[in-house]
Amino acid sequence: MKVKQLTVAVVLMAFAALGTSCGNKQKTSSTTETEQMAQSSAMEVDTLLARGESLVGQEITVKGVCTHTCAHGAKKIFLMGSDDTQTIRVEATEVIGAFDAKKCVNAIVSVTGVLREQRIDEAYLQNWEEQVKAQAQEKHGDGEAGCSTEKKARGEKGNSTQERIQDFRTKIADRQAKTGKAYLSFYFVEATGYEIEG
């Protein structure tokens, strides 16, 4: 009788262990599915730029090919979408400090952060002109032409500062005529985290 009770107890423990391991397997599988969903929820650069106006101020995740890092401390990177006209600037926050320039360039980088909007209007351009006159303009890139990658991301055409300012004025006038908005919107991400996918 004792042997029969012992056998039943062993069988019950085996089923309990089997049930626990199956339960753990499901949890692991569900965690993997959640991780996959999180990874697939990263927006492509093209989508982010197209939806930018509605996402300003929100935390987003975007991924693209890193085409450039800022030479001044790797505080900025640029992610490209389907082509080089679909590019977004990503700025490092204090949380991450700087990007790993050597590993980021030419790799797919996934960035999490807050989407911000920079508006360029007539007041912005007049302030820029005053800074140039006062020789107080922050230099980025080589000379007054500015960073070529950032210029391409913003669709700039001019080489000198004055040409760049005039180009913006022309684009603002065109946009105002078409939409009534007397400014240009450029989106960028304040990054709180990033992963290099390869």
* pLDDT at position 181 over 70: yes
- The secondary structure of 111-172 as a DSSP string is EEEEEEEEEE-HHHHHHHHHHHHTT-PPP-SSGGG--HHHHHHTT---SSHHHHHHHHHHHH
Sketch the domain layout of the chain as residue ranges. 1-41, 43-196
- HEC string of 55-124 equals HCCCEEEEEEEEEEECCCCCCEEEEECCCCCCEEEEEECCCCCCCCHHHHCCCEEEEEEEEEEEEECHHH
* 65 vs 109: CA distance, rounded Å: 6
Cα angle, residue 107 at apex, residues 106 and 109 outer, rounded to 5°: 130
Whole-model pTM?
Answer: 0.68
Q: What is the CATH number assigned to the segment(s) 43-196?
A: 2.40.50.140
Phi, psi angles (nearest 5°) of residue 122: -60, -40
The span from the first CA to the last CA of the chain, in angstroms, equals 64
* pLDDT at position 64 over 90: yes
Q: What is the pLDDT of residue 142?
A: 47
Contacts with 192 (C-beta within 8 Å, 6 or more apart), sequence order? 59, 93, 95, 96, 112, 113, 114
Mean pLDDT of 125-144: 71
* pLDDT at position 30 over 70: no
Which tokens sit at 2? 């004792």
Contacts with 124 (C-beta within 8 Å, 6 or more apart), sequence order? 183
Q: What is the pLDDT of residue 146?
A: 57
Of 3-17, 55-69, 78-92, 132-146, the poorest mean pLDDT is in 3-17
* 51 vs 45: CA distance, rounded Å: 10
The residue behind tokens 């105002």 is 176
